[in-house]
């Protein structure tokens, strides 16, 4: 059975891109969320194997959502999506339990590689 | 990676962000300390930057990035939000809008950001000179990247020569260079007086020059039209009530004519919001290919009705439920190749997704020619799971038995999944469909396959609803959720176990009190009979008892804002003809 993923990003465009990349890699997208609140709620509902989490979002930032998700499931595998210039967040995200980072704009091969390592690791 | 497939999504979403930026700047000018709005602006610029970077539109990235940085300073309180910041942000938004138009028409970017990026990044709080500079925006900005003299740049502008819409769908705005040159001399005089304004307009008007045959309308304008139409329909209902009170045949006749015209207007407005179903089909084809590979099942995926138009709002919410259904069809519906051959079927299974229109409804079916579902096995499993009692089970029709998959807790059970040939998430599918004002029907023949049919309204903004009274409250229930309304005599009431029920078409239907669900005092028998409507919850028919059934009305649904939008069981609000505000209940979610 393929791994299940939830994609969290406030931009539909980004979610769609990531969805296409992941589906081509055989992942099963079980949920999408467009803000931090929704991310936490849908995580609880779907318990995906993997979460990709944007940092800058309304209602709860990615960092806040990450903390809540880790509180729900300390074994959760969360990969943060960050852009250049957000280095200040990375240390905090790692402390909060993020497994890895993927950088925007997405490079499909790189994204696939990072996610594969995260799922298997 | 081929990014061209993302272009239209990029354009529409980028424009939404620009609109948000414009609105938020206006709001911040009123209350400059609003943290939420400051965050929104920062996020808007940030998201634009990220999207443009993915599309490799460097010019847009540069402008959005410098806007983001400027807002970062405001956010960190090293810079106060003032007129200067507002002007720069709007200028940036306008410039990006122009660049998007170029992208849309596959043109090389014809404008440069001039010194805007520099001005954004070096911006210092207003001093007297800076203030003066900020007020003449439009003068230096759009002209900055355009060396052409004003008189030339206005030549190809499409003057108000708009032809009336020929087919109602797209108005044509053909314009030619010749028209421009034959313009009366008066215009150049105006130009001389208002160089800044005209040059800005000329700049905006330049793109369409003769190549374009449709008018682009902002979605906000469409939404506004939908709103106005909705308000008109609410008002029509008021007029109808007044006409009935007055007993004036002439007024009633006029109102009923108006009602027809409004219905036509509503349909036309809604048509503009339609998008072809094909817009979300690519992903299904991809995921079916992936599923076939994963499951090792040889299958043929057939898609019909890509061209059928659906409301944008509905379309967006259909992708997940349809994905669920398709996945179930492959994972649980289709047998393995060997099993199929043993059953005398072709080794290759067929999964179909088809869309068609049936009057004012859209029918979407997902069907497969797999093993089908066995109602008896499902009933037995539901009893074993403790989801229904044995005495209840006896009363289930085969149709009801199939709907058991929609009970939360039924379909997630693995054992049941394998037994019944249906997988996870059917409760979620059913809930999504109901939320859209639609219904789900399941047909299946063991050994021959299953068919899931979603019946959906064409639009979601205007609905027919049943208005009911509960205690001192009036609430609305979408007509799509009401199978029947019933006035029940006391002697028709039955008691089964500890529950009250009644018989409808030979089927036992349990009763529930809406008052109790809403925490209101219980309904009394009025003159010996009780009012109720029959609905479907968790795949079962239920009679919902209310104080009174007040009648049906056309309602214009308004979504609720946060945090009310998160309340379970409430789908929105609407104004009744008498001006009273009612909540629209999602009965299935409440029960």
Please report residues of A whose CB lies closer than 8 A to that of B290: 2, 23-24, 26
Q: Return the CATH number of B276-457, one of 3.80.10.10, 3.30.565.10, 3.30.1360.170, 1.10.10.10.
A: 3.30.565.10
* Nearest Cβ partner for A12 among B13, B40, B294: B13
Interface test with A, best of B47, B103, B330 (most A CBs within 10 A): B47
Please report residues of A whose CB lies closer than 8 A to that of B320: 31-32
Q: Alpha-carbon dihedral of residues B305, B307, B311, B313, nearest 10 degrees?
A: 80
In this complex, do B287 and A14 lie within 8 Å of one another by their Cβ atoms? Answer: no
The reply to whether CATH 3.40.50.2300 applies to domain A4-107 is: yes
Give the gap in angstroms from C-alpha B425 to the nearest C-alpha of chain A. Answer: 10
Write down the ipTM of this complex: 0.89
Question: Chains A, B: CB contacts under 8 A, how many?
Answer: 63
A88-111 pLDDT, tens digit each: 777 888 889 999 999 888 888 889
In this complex, do B53 and A23 lie within 8 Å of one another by their Cβ atoms? Answer: no
Rounded CA gap, A111 and B286, in Å? 19
* Nearest Cβ partner for A83 among B50, B286, B327: B50
What pLDDT, on a 0 to 100 scale, did the predictor assign at position B208? 43
The DSSP output letter for A52 is: E
Residue B145 has which token pair?
């990247």
Strand partners, B578: none
In this complex, do A26 and B42 lie within 8 Å of one another by their Cβ atoms? Answer: no
CB B520, CB B473: distance < 8 Å: yes
Q: At what angle do helices A12-24 and B7-30 cross, to 10 degrees?
A: 150
Give the gap in angstroms from C-alpha B479 to the nearest C-alpha of chain A. Answer: 29
In this complex, do B9 and A11 lie within 8 Å of one another by their Cβ atoms? Answer: no
What pLDDT, on a 0 to 100 scale, did the predictor assign at position B212? 56
* Nearest Cβ partner for A58 among B43, B293, B320: B43
Give the gap in angstroms from C-alpha A70 to the nearest C-alpha of chain B. Answer: 23
CB A23, CB B290: distance < 8 Å: yes
Q: What are phi and psi of B247, to 5 degrees?
A: 65, 30
* Nearest Cβ partner for A26 among B49, B290, B327: B290
Give the gap in angstroms from C-alpha A21 to the nearest C-alpha of chain B. Answer: 10
Which helix (DSSP H) or strand (DSSP E) does residue A104 occupy?
Answer: strand A100-104
Count of residues in chain B: 591
Residue B73: other Cβ atoms inside 10 A: 16
Residue B418 sits at the vertex; the CA angle it makes with B414 and B424, to the nearest 5 degrees, is 50
A16-72 pLDDT, tens digit each: 999 999 999 999 999 999 999 999 999 999 999 999 999 988 888 899 999 999 999
In this complex, do A58 and B49 lie within 8 Å of one another by their Cβ atoms? Answer: no
- Residue ranges, chain B, pLDDT below 70: 109-113, 126-214, 219, 360, 411-424, 460-461, 523-527, 577
Please report residues of B whose CB lies closer than 8 A to that of A16: 6, 9
Rounded CA gap, B327 and A93, in Å? 34
Buried/exposed B135-168: b ≥16 CB within 10 Å, e otherwise? eebbeebbbbbbeeebeebbebbbeeeeeeeeee
Q: Return the CATH number of B462-590, one of 2.40.50.180, 3.40.50.720, 1.10.10.10, 3.40.50.2300.
A: 2.40.50.180
Give the gap in angstroms from C-alpha A91 to the nearest C-alpha of chain B. Answer: 20
Topology, domain B1-146 = 1.20.120
Rounded CA gap, A29 and A9, in Å? 14
Closest CA to A116 of A9, A15, A8, A22: A22
What pLDDT, on a 0 to 100 scale, did the predictor assign at position B126? 61
Please report residues of B whose CB lies closer than 8 A to that of A32: 320
Interface of A with B (CB under 8 A): 1-2, 10-14, 16-17, 19-20, 23-24, 26, 28-29, 31-32, 56-58, 83, 104-106, 108
Three-state SS letters, B431-497: HHHHHCCCEEEEEEECCCEEEEEEEEECCCCEEEEEEEEECCEEEEEEHHHCCEEEEEEHHHCEEEC
Handedness of CA B22, B25, B29, B30 (dihedral sign): positive
What pLDDT, on a 0 to 100 scale, did the predictor assign at position B527? 67
Interface test with A, best of B50, B100, B409, B561 (most A CBs within 10 A): B50
CB B273, CB B226: distance < 8 Å: yes
Please report residues of B whose CB lies closer than 8 A to that of A105: 50, 53-54, 56
The DSSP output letter for B332 is: I
Residue spans of the domains in chain A: they are: 4-107
A72-83 pLDDT, tens digit each: 999 999 999 987
């Amino acid at each position: 059975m393929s791994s299940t993923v939830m994609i969290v990003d406030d931009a539909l465009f980004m979610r769609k891109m990531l969805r296409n990349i992941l589906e081509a890699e055989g992942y099963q997208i079980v949920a999408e969320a467009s803000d931090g609140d929704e991310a936490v709620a849908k995580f609880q509902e779907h318990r995906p194997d993997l979460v990709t989490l944007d940092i800058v979002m309304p209602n709860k930032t990615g960092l806040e959502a990450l903390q809540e998700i880790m509180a729900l499931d300390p074994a959760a595998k969360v990969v943060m999506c960050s852009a250049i210039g957000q280095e200040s967040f990375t240390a905090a995200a790692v402390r909060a339990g993020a497994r890895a980072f993927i950088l925007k704009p997405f490079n499909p091969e790189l994204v696939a590689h990072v996610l594969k390592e995260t799922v298997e690791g | 990676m081929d990014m061209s497939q993302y272009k239209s999504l990029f354009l529409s979403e980028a424009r939404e962000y620009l609109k948000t930026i414009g609105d938020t700047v206006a709001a911040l000018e009123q209350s400059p300390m609003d943290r939420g709005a400051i965050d929104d602006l920062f996020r808007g610029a940030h998201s634009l930057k990220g999207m443009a970077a993915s599309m490799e539109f460097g010019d847009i990235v540069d402008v959005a990035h410098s806007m983001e940085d400027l807002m970062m300073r405001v956010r960190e309180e090293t810079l106060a939000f003032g007129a200067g910041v507002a002007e720069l942000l709007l200028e940036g938004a306008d410039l990006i809008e122009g660049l998007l138009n170029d992208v849309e028409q596959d043109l090389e970017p014809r404008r440069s950001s001039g010194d805007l990026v520099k001005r954004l990044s070096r911006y210092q709080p207003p001093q007297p000179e800076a203030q003066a500079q900020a007020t003449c925006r439009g003068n230096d900005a759009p002209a900055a990247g355009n060396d052409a003299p004003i008189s030339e740049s206005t030549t190809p502008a499409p003057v108000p020569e708009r032809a009336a819409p020929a087919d109602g769908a797209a108005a044509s705005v053909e314009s030619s260079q010749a028209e421009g040159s034959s313009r009366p001399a008066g215009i150049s005089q105006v130009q001389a007086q208002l160089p800044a304004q005209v040059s800005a307009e000329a700049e905006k008007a330049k793109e369409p020059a003769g190549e374009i045959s449709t008018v682009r309308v902002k979605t906000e304008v469409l939404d506004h039209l939908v709103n106005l139409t909705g308000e008109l329909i609410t008002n029509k209902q008021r007029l109808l009530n007044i006409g009935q009170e007055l007993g004036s045949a002439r007024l009633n006749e006029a109102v009923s004519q108006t009602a027809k015209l409004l219905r036509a207007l509503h349909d036309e407005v809604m048509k503009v919001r339609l998008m072809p179903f094909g817009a979300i089909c690519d992903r299904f084809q991809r995921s079916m290919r992936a599923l076939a590979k994963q499951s090792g099942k040889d299958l043929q995926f057939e898609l019909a009705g890509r061209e059928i138009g659906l409301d944008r709002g509905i379309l967006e919410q259909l992708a997940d439920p349809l994905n669920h259904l398709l996945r179930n069809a492959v994972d649980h519906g289709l047998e393995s190749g060997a099993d199929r051959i043993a059953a005398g079927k072709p080794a290759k299974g067929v999964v179909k997704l088809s869309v068609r229109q049936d009057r004012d409804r859209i029918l979407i079916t997902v069907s497969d020619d797999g093993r089908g579902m066995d109602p008896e096995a499902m009933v037995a499993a539901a009893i074993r799971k403790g989801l229904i009692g044995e005495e209840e089970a006896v009363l289930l029709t085969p149709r009801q038995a199939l709907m058991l998959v929609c009970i939360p807790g039924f379909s997630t059970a693995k054992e049941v999944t394998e037994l019944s040939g249906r997988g996870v998430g059917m409760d979620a599918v059913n809930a999504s469909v109901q939320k859209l004002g639609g219904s789900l029907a399941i047909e299946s023949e063991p050994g021959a396959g299953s068919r899931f049919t979603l019946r959906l309204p064409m639009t979601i903004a205007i609905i027919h609803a049943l208005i009911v009274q509960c205690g001192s409250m009036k609430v609305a229930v979408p007509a799509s959720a009401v199978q029947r309304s019933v006035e029940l005599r006391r002697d028709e009431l039955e008691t089964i176990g500890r529950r009250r029920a009644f018989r409808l078409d030979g089927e036992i239907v349990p009763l529930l009190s809406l008052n109790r669900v809403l925490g209101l005092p219980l309904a009394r028998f009025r003159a010996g009979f009780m009012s109720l409507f029959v609905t479907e919850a968790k795949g079962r028919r239920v009679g919902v008892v209310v104080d009174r059934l007040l009648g049906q009305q056309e309602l214009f649904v308004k979504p609720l804002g946060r945090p009310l939008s998160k309340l379970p069981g409430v789908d929105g609000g609407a104004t009744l003809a008498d001006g009273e505000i009612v909540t629209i209940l999602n009965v299935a979610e409440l029960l």
